[in-house]
Amino acid sequence: MEEALAICIWYANSPVHGFKMAADYCENYDPKYGASLNGPSRSKLLEMARFMFAVEAHELENSD
């Protein structure tokens, strides 16, 4: 949460911070896979992609 607030307040134009937070969110720990982006991360990655598409669609609708 703190990282998300920092991005909103101080790093709004920094894609690097956003990508890092997204990767951290999608990481998964499982003894079979370890702690990283792995097989079980797939659902969170798809969720993140749907979110990005929704934000882009919203921005396009409101760009006029």
pLDDT of 58 reads 92
Nearest-angstrom CA–CA distance, 54 and 58: 6
Picking from 54, 56, 45, 50, the residue whose alpha carbon sits closest to that of residue 22 is 45
Residue 2: pLDDT band by 50, 70, 90 thresholds? confident
What's the pLDDT tens digit per position in 9-49? 777 777 888 778 888 888 888 888 788 888 888 898 899 88
Nearest-angstrom CA–CA distance, 39 and 15: 25
Nearby residues of 27 by Cβ (< 8 Å), 6 or more positions away: 35, 36, 37, 41
